Structure 1
């Protein structure tokens, strides 16, 4: 099954939707009910609440590193709250920092490397520091001491700012605990899964916002269609969150709706095997609020195993259509989605469209209910859209999705352009197109290559893959061997170490030699990769080729540099 990285050609477009905007009649009837889908809470949490560092926080069961005062009173003696974020450059913590700014908090933060997320924070008024130091959180004449320190999972407990904060009595919170407090008084929709959660959460937030829901959303990637980059700060109760399993981060949440896109072994530095991942997700399901809803991909063996120890093929075709009685004891309802027709929501007649994406017929409990068109390529994006549809239906409970409402929903699904670094087009020169994707797991690699083949069936596909972490390559070497079969040429660079040291004595050459089809070439240096690509593309500018860079490290720098230097060479040549 292929479910992760997502595709799109990007423009920077903000959703110009206000909560009072006029909607089609069907959509108005559908989404006006969202204001009444409450679970006994009306107060908002006003005091809202990484770049990877050398090590992660070692004690994943301890949500609060130090608690010396209640989180419910985050303001200092001058009446203004000050929150300091350690690891603020990461996609997750930067969104929390921006949300705190939007909610009127004083925000500061530090990281060892400057990131693009920090640009927006600084422009919005955050005080940011490059490097960690006690001086970053010294007493301020205006604010006093920080009321709280929020720490990324990637920050080690001996970080100088953490140690100093504890010594002066400032409470230090891990990201999972802070997320739980930020969302506890909202109707939380937590989108989780091994792959696809960034795009699914973003797609859901985009569609709901476009249809008039004034929601809050936090996702773990840059979104060109979000004015806030990786977050939306709304005023109503609905809160869409990308819920991360890394370090058990999502276990601090209490969601009203939980979406599980798929489950398989990943984050091998945290989970020793697939069973450990499944057990963590099972714990997460126990966090769903009484009367809530679980939206689950029935096509994913790992996701389905969360419900039963029996395998999927042992069930009758209708087993996933009428699940409420089966899960009554769990205290929440269940809806499933997938391409297989035994799911409550499923897609049929999937086919490429002229946008380079996918069209399909939407089925609900075996009956066709509408046609959906996406500008995103790949079967994984069909699954992502099905998760969004099932979630929106869960939000309105037993109300029927009218034809007008489905048409409106389908329109906004089609307008969704995706998430940065998910099959993102970097640019085009002559007959060469350059794309970039975050894929760093074999399942993700297979999915994005399948999407590339769908979008460009007659073009050569050259893949530059930067392996991410030594432990992941050791664990998935056999799976990577077959993951690149849709490519015409593959280049493997040296492994991006991230937070690890190479105790396994593994290199990118080992991975390259294991790839079965096509044969892969090992070029360790990104600099050398760019030079070789420039030479080969420049010599034959009319060859139709897609260059696709893949990985979770600094591989994303190759595409823009390659495009720039090819254009420079073209200009120089034209001057003769």
Structure 2
């Protein structure tokens, strides 16, 4: 890495790619890259010094980045195989590595605390990073969401030996990591376009547990199907909201607040106050605090950090909260995530109508889980269902949002994204609005918020 002056990112606007880009800029490297869509994140990268363009055109690659002798190319597996820029760099002998491989190399020399799981990994890794940042230990962190406390997905420290990493199972990316300790939140089948079967998905997580270093630890959500394959001298702990080596007790929910006592194998830390008071965050907090506690964070530091945690953008993100209307945005895109998100919101607002807007993510995921999506979405009081966001995929014949819509049992509307604002304009009975999905629904959040604000 010392000989590398230029880092070029194919897919620079991705949440995981962008924190690597920021890391290299902080280390004094020249950074450039391509992404197909301009977003707020790519605009921020440009302001911070990166050169970013939005056409898959080799003529737009800055000249300084066309020297294979001093340029490293980092790419995401989501980039299409027929990408012009990928073909150019391959044909000209550039050193090319997946994002996960580079992240593994960067974190190899530190004590990496890796949060993995089908869902919950962004929130738990964000909580853990905030706890350590506010503690005497400090932290480096590569996160899958923008922490509202820091308005960033990258935290750096010149002194800390710890690095928090969101460990992504897509394309087996987390196999490149070198965990000192790991947290696994869930292993519900996902990414079956990559894994094919639930068994292969679970085997991938088992291999991840085998990478934990001797002397380290695994904190595993209780009652998962996973059979961990840890090395000798790796401690294994369980956790959940109400059972396991780490859990919560004396839970108090009311007046828009959640408080509980945190049970560890050796002590009970009383009166934890959740800064983001959503019920699912009790369990997320237990998991993240478990890793922090195992590494020496004190009781007072845990209390202070959890009370001041503001959350990650697009993870139970309160965008509007008035006496008349509430708007919450969540990145949930798996059936179990949807169920957790919807039930958490309904627990917080039991006497209000909850309307959900869901944008399915990927044709393959829709095909694999259509009945499960419909069951989760039927928990809403009313659903507005958008077209599928394709991301990296080409259409699959017969797979549209209709196959979810037909099975939903609550009042429902099916529409295109460009029809959404007009439909909302005519709905005067919105009390709690939940926007959910991992696609580009976030581009409509501001206009939706403005529309609701007019109803104050």
How would you bin the TM-score normalised by the shorter chain? Answer: over 0.9
- Corresponding residue to 1:336 among 238, 244, 248: 238
1:232 is aligned, of 132, 141, 155, to 155
Aligned to 2:436: 550
Q: Distance in 2 between matches of 1:184 and 1:136?
A: 34
1:104 match: 28
Report what 1:242 is aligned to.
166
Contact 1:429 1:566 in 2 (8 A): no
CA distance in 2: counterparts of 1:138 and 1:370, whole angstroms: 56
Q: How far apart are residue 133 of structure 1 and its match?
A: 2.5
Cα distance in 2 for partners of 1:566, 1:240 equals 37
User: Is structure 2 residue 227 aligned with structure 1 residue 306?
Assistant: yes
Matches within 5 A, 1:14-413: 47=1, 73-75=2-4, 81-137=5-61, 139-140=63-64, 146-227=70-151, 229-235=152-158, 236-299=160-223, 301-302=224-225, 305-307=226-228, 330-341=232-243, 343-354=244-255, 356-365=256-265, 368-396=268-296, 405-413=298-306
SS in structure 1 at match of 2:163: strand
2:373 maps to 1:480: yes
CA contact (8 A) 1:257 1:294 kept: yes
- Conserved in 2, the CA contact under 8 Å of 1:215 and 1:234? yes
Of 135-144 and 437-446, more deviation after overlay is shown by 135-144
Cα shift readout 1:238-277 (whole Å, capped 9, x = no counterpart): 1111010000111111111111111110112212222111
Paired residue secondary structure (2:218):
strand
The structure where strand makes up a greater share of residues is 2
Which has the larger Rg? 1
Distance 1:423 1:173 in 2: 33
CA offset at residue 306 of structure 1? Answer: 2.3
Q: What displacement does 1:223 show?
A: 1.6
Query: Is 2:11–2:35's contact at 8 Å kept on the other side of the alignment?
Result: yes
What secondary structure is seen at the aligned counterpart in 2 of 1:536? coil
> Secondary structure of the equivalent of 1:220?
strand
Q: Deviations over 1:106-165 (max 9, x none)?
A: 111111111222122111111112222223446439988642100011113442222222
Distance 2:418 2:177 in 1: 43
Cα deviation for residue 97 of structure 1 reads: 0.4
- Are the counterparts in 1 of residues 213 and 234 from structure 2 also a CA contact under 8 Å? yes
From the superposition, tell whether residues 474 and 144 of structure 1 become closer, same or farther in structure 2 (CA, over 3 Å): closer
Other-structure match for 2:427: 536
Q: Distance in 2 between matches of 1:525 and 1:167?
A: 40
Q: CA deviation at 1:425?
A: 2.1
Alignment check: 8 A CA contact 1:223 1:230 kept: yes
In structure 2, runs of 5+ residues without a counterpart are none
1:520–1:237: structure 2 CA closer, same or farther, 3 Å change rule? same
Contact in 1 for aligned 2:355/2:383 (Cα 8 Å): yes
* SS in structure 2 at match of 1:383: helix
- The SS at the match of 2:219 is strand
TM-score by length of 2: 0.93
Q: Which has the higher contact order (CA 8 A, sep 6+)?
A: 1
- Structure 1 residues 163 and 559 mapped into 2: Cα distance closer, same or farther (>3 Å)? closer
1:503 match = 396
Kept after mapping to 2: 8 A contact 1:347/1:362: yes
For the 8 Å contact 2:112–2:162, the answer to whether it is kept is: yes
Q: Which residue of 2 aligns with 1:573?
A: none
Contact 1:162/1:172 (8 A) holds in 2: no
The alignment covers a number of residue pairs equal to 455
* Kept in 1: contact 2:354–2:432 (CA 8 A): yes
Change (3 A) 1:179 1:141: closer
Root-mean-square deviation (CA, aligned residues, Å) is: 2.4
> d(CA) in 2 for partners of 1:353 and 1:509?
39
Separation in structure 2 between the aligned mates of residue 192 and residue 378 of structure 1, nearest angstrom? 21
Tell me the equivalent position of 1:29.
Answer: none
1:488-518 Cα offsets, whole Å, 9 max, x none, are 11121222222223324122222112013x2
TM-superposed CA distance for 1:202, in Å, is 0.7
Paired residues of 2:362 and 2:388 also in contact (CA < 8 A): yes
CA distance in 2, matches of 1:154, 1:128: 18
Q: Give me the whole-angstrom Cα distance separating, in 1, the residues matched to 2:246 and 2:440.
A: 38
Q: TM-score, normalised by structure 1?
A: 0.74
Matching residue within 408, 420, 438 for 1:515: 408
Any idea what SS the aligned residue of 1:230 has? Answer: strand
Q: Tell me, which stretches of 5 or more residues in structure 1 are unaligned?
A: 1-46, 48-72, 76-80, 309-326, 538-542, 571-576
C-alpha distance in 2 between matches for 1:233 and 1:479: 40
